[in-house]
């Protein structure tokens, strides 16, 4: 009898605690929005902490959870995650062929309907910028920044050795020779191509300068006829310019075995007087103790078909997973990241060139490199996207591989282009 009483008591207690926990669960209903981003950005943790705090002011039930990944690993992990059921709600991407493929495959959410709702990205960024993420007229991303590339140089070294900033490609070759003549152990332009993308950025610009963006367009999107695809001899000429740079002593020995981070450190520690580096580099050089650097654009190729006023620009930002359980909130969080105040914070904390420039004038003590990047990008007459983001995956890989082969002299420029054309023909046939 006592035992029965005991059991009955326990059952009542269990039911009572169930009620209690139900009440607790309902009163603390919260939504977790997971964001995947690249790691290693200066000020990133502070930015995301602030994002979480600021977003809670307008939507207290939402927790923003940041997960970061190393650059190369991220490119694979995001694809696997989006196919699974445990992927992020919002994720970083570069806008080009990669992002378009995710959209076409139905892995990224069409966020066009969320553009002009209250707090939607359409309130903060231009239509032109949104359209860089468009596939078949639908918007799939919220660009929050763009990256470009410049030659960064050490003005003190240039001044001490009476060196001039090169205006043309031939000037650049001569500059490398002059630096080697001063001291043959100085590497004029350290190139870390162990991950293959460093030279890919150089050949992106050389193709633009030599072949011209109008002539490359049909080849890049594989719409050129089979007879014409990548047959323009100027592509070979562009590769030849890489060989010329190497022959002029611009790079150190073994660029294919040198990590990009090491070359940044070579410049930051003033071992090398110049480097072709992205707009993310200014903050890195500064964090490594060198801030008295200056910049110049990729020089003009005299006789080339592309204008010297065109620059390298890769828009990047956030996409929303098609599998998110909270599409509206996820799109709203992605939009909130480019709101006036958060765009200002992204610029101040992470050195972003914000896609929403409304409050850029309110920046406290913008760095000299930030001012240069922003003003110079605005001054340019056009932009080209980088080949490893823009091209179809197999053609992109062929370009990356050929960069390695050219630097190793295991393939001539002509052989490199023959290989790329072959891969492009196969890719076109498979489309």
Partner 1 sequence: MNKNNTQTNSFSLSNDKVSATILLVPALIFCTIFIFIPAIGTIVGSFYSYSLTSMNNWKWVGFGNYVKATQDEYFWVALKNNFIIVFASIVLQVGVGTILAAILDRGIKYGRVIFRTIIFTPMVISSVAVSLIWLIIYDPNVGILNAIFKSIGLSTPSKGWLGDPNISIWMIMITAAWQNTGFMMVLILAGLQGVSKEVYDAAEIDGATGVKAFWYITLPMIRNVLIVAILITTIGAFKVFEFIFVFTQGGPANATQVLGTYIYLQAFNLLHMGYANALSVILLIIALFLGWLQLKSSRKA
Indicate which single residue of 376, 401, 415, 418 sits in contact with partner 1 (rule: CB under 8 A): 401
Residue 274 near residue 295 (C-beta atoms within 8 A): no
The contact mask relative to partner 1 for 43-82 (x = CB under 8 A, - = no) is -----------------------------x--xx--xx-x
Q: Any contact of residue 102 with partner 1 (CB under 8 A)?
A: yes
Q: Give just the sign of the alpha carbon dihedral 170, 173, 259, 369.
A: negative
Nearer residue to partner 1 within complex by CB, 133 or 148: 133
Which of these segments, 197-205, 237-245, 327-335, 401-409, binds partner 1 (CB under 8 A)? 401-409
Q: Kindly state the smallest distance separating residue 159's Cβ from partner 1, in Å.
A: 26
Handedness of CA 33, 39, 44, 45 (dihedral sign): positive
Which residues within the stretch 111-150 sit at the binding site for partner 1 (CB under 8 A)? none
Least distance from C-beta 301 to partner 1, angstroms? Answer: 26
Distance CA 343, CA 356 (A): 6
Task: Please state, in angstroms and rounded to a whole number, the distance separating the CA atoms of residues 425 and 210.
Answer: 22
Interaction between residue 394 and partner 1 (CB under 8 A): yes
Interaction of residue 335 with partner 1, rule CB under 8 A = no
Residues whose CB falls within 8 Å of the CB of residue 185, separated by 6 or more in sequence, listed in order: none
Please say which residue, 198 or 209, places its beta carbon nearer to partner 1.
Answer: 198
Taking the mean position of all CA atoms in its chain, how far away is CA 237? 27
Of the residues 15, 257, 302, 325, which one makes contact with partner 1 according to CB under 8 A: 257
Q: State which residue, 189 or 373, has the beta carbon closest to partner 1.
A: 189
Nearest CA to 239 among 112, 374, 419? 419
Residue 59: CB partners within 8 Å, gap ≥ 6?
A: 329, 332
Interface stretch with partner 1, choices 53-61, 99-107, 126-134, 281-289 (CB under 8 A) = 99-107
Q: Give the other-Cβ count within 10 Å of 341's Cβ.
A: 14
* Structure tokens that stand for 320 in this block: 């929303």
252 touching partner 1, by CB under 8 A: yes
Query: What letter does residue 90 receive in the DSSP assignment?
Result: E
Question: What is the per-residue binding string for partner 1 in 213-242, x denoting contact by CB under 8 A?
Answer: ------------------------------
β-strands 142-147, 314-320 pairing: antiparallel
Token readout for 393 is 């995956």
Is residue 204 involved in binding partner 1 (CB under 8 A)? no
Question: Can residue 39 be called a binding residue for partner 1 (CB under 8 A)?
Answer: no
CB distance 209 to 308 below 8 Å: yes
Q: Which is nearer to partner 1, 57 or 409 (CB)?
A: 409
Interaction residues for partner 1, span 264-303 (CB under 8 A): 266
Local structure of residue 208 (DSSP, 8 states):
I
Q: Which two tokens stand for residue 213?
A: 């963006």
Question: Which CA distances in Å does 100 have to 89, 137, 428?
Answer: 18, 12, 17
Q: Minimum distance from CB of 286 to partner 1 (Å)? A: 22
Which residues form the interface with partner 1 (CB under 8 A)? 72, 75-76, 79-80, 82-83, 101-102, 104-107, 194-196, 252-259, 262, 266, 393-394, 397, 401-402, 404-405, 408, 410-411
């Amino acid at each position: 009898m006592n035992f029965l009483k005991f059991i009955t008591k326990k059952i009542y207690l269990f039911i009572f605690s169930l009620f209690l926990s139900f009440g607790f669960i309902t009163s603390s209903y919260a939504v977790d929005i997971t964001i995947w981003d690249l790691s290693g950005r200066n000020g990133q943790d502070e930015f995301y902490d602030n994002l979480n705090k600021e977003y809670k002011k307008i939507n207290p039930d939402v927790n923003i959870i940041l997960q970061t990944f190393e650059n190369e690993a991220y490119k694979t992990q995001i694809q696997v995650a989006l196919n699974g059921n445990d992927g992020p709600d919002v994720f970083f991407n570069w806008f080009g062929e990669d992002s378009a493929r995710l959209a076409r495959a139905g892995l990224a959410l069409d966020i066009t309907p969320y553009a002009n709702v209250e707090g939607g990205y359409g309130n903060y960024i231009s239509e032109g910028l949104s359209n860089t993420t468009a596939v078949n007229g639908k918007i799939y991303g919220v660009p929050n920044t763009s990256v470009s590339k410049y030659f960064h140089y050490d003005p003190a070294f240039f001044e001490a050795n009476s060196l001039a900033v090169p205006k043309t490609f031939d000037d650049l070759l001569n500059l490398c020779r002059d630096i080697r003549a001063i001291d043959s152990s100085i590497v004029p332009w350290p190139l870390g191509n162990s991950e293959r993308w460093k030279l890919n950025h150089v050949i992106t610009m050389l193709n633009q300068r030599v072949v011209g963006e109008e002539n490359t367009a049909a080849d890049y999107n594989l719409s050129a006829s089979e007879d014409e695809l990548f047959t323009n001899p100027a592509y070979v000429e562009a590769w030849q310019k890489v060989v010329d740079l190497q022959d002029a002593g611009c790079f150190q020995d073994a660029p294919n075995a040198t990590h990009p981070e090491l070359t940044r450190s070579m410049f930051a520690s003033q071992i090398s007087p110049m480097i072709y580096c992205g707009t993310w580099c200014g903050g890195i050089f500064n964090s490594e103790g060198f801030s008295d650097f200056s910049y110049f654009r990729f020089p003009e190729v005299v006789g080339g078909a592309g204008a010297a006023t065109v620059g390298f620009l890769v828009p990047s930002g956030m996409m929303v997973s098609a599998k998110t359980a909270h599409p509206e909130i996820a799109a709203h969080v992605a939009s909130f990241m480019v709101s006036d105040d958060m765009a200002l914070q992204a610029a101040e904390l992470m050195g972003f060139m914000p896609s929403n420039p409304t409050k850029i004038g309110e920046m406290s003590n913008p760095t000299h490199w930030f001012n240069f990047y922003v003003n110079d990008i605005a001054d340019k007459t056009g932009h080209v996207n980088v080949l490893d983001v823009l091209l179809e995956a197999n053609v992109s890989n062929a370009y990356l591989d050929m960069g390695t082969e050219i630097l190793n002299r295991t393939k001539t420029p002509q052989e490199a282009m023959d290989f790329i054309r072959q891969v492009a023909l196969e890719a076109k046939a498979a489309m």
